[in-house]
Chains A and B, each alone.
Chain A
Amino acid sequence: MLIKELSVIPGVSGDETRVRNYIREKVTALGLPSHTDSLGNLYVSKEGRRRGAPPELMLTAHMDEVGLMVSSIEKSGHLRFYKVGGVYEEALISKPVKIGTADILGVIGAKAIHLQKKEERKKALTIENLYIDIGAKDKEDAEKVVKVGDYVSFYSEASRYEDIIRGKAFDNRAGCAALLEILKRDYPCSFTVVFTVQEEVGIRGARVAAYRVNPRLALVIETTIAADTPEIKEHELSTSLGGGPAFTVKDDSVIVHPHLLDRLVQVAGEQKRPYQFRRFGGSFTDAGAIATAGGGVAAAVISTPCRYIHSPLSMLNLKDWHHLVEIVDGFIRSIDEKGLEI
């Protein structure tokens, strides 16, 4: 399955090479032309059956994931690290990781409970207390296989049970997988798909991509927080797993263009698909960078709900993802058939 395959590839912000190569291979196999820029965004031109018309629509999904970076190597051979993006620190403890391009395996250990004083147990373990252990004898031994500056990604396998899949980096490999699915299909109109970099460290790739493509309309395919878990008030849960794809009205980076939002809702309604509105107004998406790029772009966001994002093991419902793909598909056709006044 595409999402599972994409999710296990290490691709922390700034280190998207392997994700990009995987996607490029798939795109090339579809016979589609692609190119990159100096940041590493991957541009794919999808030519419609009706040739010649300049594409006005851009679809994006970011390839990068949150992770870690080796910041120093201790005498004992243990590695200290920085966070890359908004990693949930408490979910790092007792997890395996992959380090550098050689995928050196390591574990993030914690002081055994037996050795902790009562007071210690009542304090959160923050990143300063944590380190990666690769089983090295000492610093010199560790330096044979890792170096300061190596990217570190979570090491989680992806698994499926009925419609539920669990794994790392569904934010936003689920979005990448959706766009790869769209690229397989046939459309009358042309459009541009961009797989962006560095979303998790400040929506940096998308800004450059929007400037370069200069679209009139943009749809960002994302994966968003589902906090539909115990003890969460309804207005805090943002989205629910299995409730259908989520439309953003606003987040901290963008106010979605109302015409685009209306059209998405209309398409979902016509297709009789479940959908929901993202009820958390915070955090950033590529749409923020795209909307304010160049002379301004009308941008919208559609997301697959996902529990426990930004941690080593997240969870999503494949039904939501399938609905998302079909709504995106319908949206592209709708723009082509009816146009969209901004």
Chain B
Amino acid sequence: MHEFLEEISQKDGVSGYEKKVGEVIAEKFSPYIDETRADPLGNLIFYKKGQGKHSPRLMICAHMDEIGLIVTKVEEQGFLRFTSLGGFDARTLPGQEVTIYGRNILPGLIGFKLPHLLTEQEKNRGVKMEDLYLDTGLPAEVVQRLIPVGSVAAIKRNFMTLRHNSRAGKALDDRAGVVSLWQCAKELAKFKHEADLYLVATVQEEVGTRGAVVSTYGISPDVGIAVDVCHGDFPGALEQEVSSMAQGPVVTAGPNIHPAVGERLLQVAKDYHLPHQRDVSPGPTGTDARAIQISLEGIPTGLLSIPLRYMHTSVELVDLEDVKDTGLLLAYFTAGVDRTFVEGLACL
């Protein structure tokens, strides 16, 4: 699990350009599933056939895209202005190493004005995206030739093993979720399950959950579960906004969640003695679940989250046990999804 997370964390796949990371994911899932297909947006759908005659369809999604950058202007001296694909805090970017996908793949870093050249006002207001630029150090004519406007750039960060089961790196939002889906597929080899299972590595979540819309229409599931990350605790955090690290997956409640699906996830966690936590989202969640629920005629939807610290930075931190327990909970939940459960969901 560590190896898989390390490998896909270090692969690049900014929103809309998920192919490279998708290839690794597809290869890793293939031993545990019956069929793989990709849809026109690039969602990867891993199908695992159920035992039943009239099997209900269960879709479980985790997004494989990551936030990234896109070049908007090549300055005369060869510096590159950029905007973001997805939500960055500009203040986390100075000095960040990047990989630029121009006509060649080029290394670079995010340059900034040195502190002694900043005005007092600039110092206080913090860094803005407009203050920053990509710097390859290469001569201007080389940059102009190799990196056209519109080239994307991905954050570069080596995956790190911290204390105990803590791991840090880029794009763990939501590659950790993808790994939990893989863990679920592996675990299901030990179980008979009635439901036809569609595990989906979705695209373009970070720019508006677009992959999940398409995958839901394509699969037409009876139940949809999104697996994403939620905020892990940190010093000075508001308790209600964060979940504890290493205390298991987080089951969300709120209008985005079908009550019976949420209840079942909790019940399964209790039955199998899996650590788990609860959180509340008072409206549409910032995950694929928001799209799944209102696709087609409406899909009963659930959301499981893996606590993650420092979201949308290059040092996102997760606990491997939480990733594993999320995968196990998904597998045990899948094993219990049958025709009766699904039919009950429409009767409110």
User: Contact residues of A with B, CB < 8 Å?
Assistant: 74, 76, 78, 88-91, 93-96, 104-116, 121-125, 131, 133-137, 141-142, 145, 156-157, 159, 161-162, 164, 166, 225, 227-232, 236, 241-242, 280, 282, 307-308, 311-313, 315, 317
Contact = CB atoms under 8 A, between A and B. Distances in A.
Contact of B115 (A88, A131, A145, A313): A88
Given A94-B313, A159-B107, A107 B95 contact: no
A307 B77 CA distance: 14
B163 A282 contact: no
Nearest to A111: B234
B163 A109 contact: no
10 contacts: A96-B158, A105-B168, A109-B310, A112-B89, A135-B162, A135-B319, A145-B163, A161-B107, A229-B135, A230-B111
Interface stretch (B19-27, B116-124, B196-204, B249-257): B116-124
Given A109-B315, A124-B127, A227-B114, A136 B163 contact: yes
Contact of A107 (B114, B115, B138, B168): B168
Contacts of B160: 96, 105, 107
A124 to B, nearest CB: 4
Contacts, number: 191
The secondary-structure label for the interface of chain B is: loop
B137 A115 contact: no
B231 interface: yes
B137 A164 contact: yes
A123 B234 CA distance: 19
Nearest to A159: B107
B319 to A, nearest CB: 8
Contacts of A107: 160, 162, 168, 310, 315, 317
Interface string B209-246: 00000000000000000000001011111100100001
A311 B94 contact: yes
Nearest to A231: B113
B168 A166 contact: no
Given A131-B235, A308-B112, A116 B162 contact: no
Given A96-B168, A124-B123, A231-B113, A110 B91 contact: yes
Which of A112, A133, A141, A232 gathers most chain B CB within 10 Å? A112
A166 B97 CA distance: 9
Given A96-B315, A135-B317, A313 B162 contact: no
A110 B237 CA distance: 11
Contact of A114 (B77, B91, B133, B231): B231
Interface of B: 75, 77, 79, 87-89, 91-97, 106-107, 109, 111-117, 123-127, 133, 135-139, 157-158, 160-168, 231, 233-238, 241, 246, 286, 309-315, 317, 319
B162 A106 contact: yes
Contact of B310 (A94, A166, A280): A94
Contact of B109 (A89, A122, A162, A308): A308
Given A122-B125, A124-B123, A225-B114, A94 B137 contact: no
Nearest to B162: A135
A228 B158 CA distance: 29
A227 B117 contact: yes
B111 A125 contact: no
Contact of A307 (B116, B135, B158, B233): B135
Contacts of A280: 116
B82 to A, nearest CB: 12
Given A125-B126, A135-B317, A164-B138, A93 B107 contact: no
A273 B233 CA distance: 56
B166 A135 contact: yes
B267 to A, nearest CB: 29
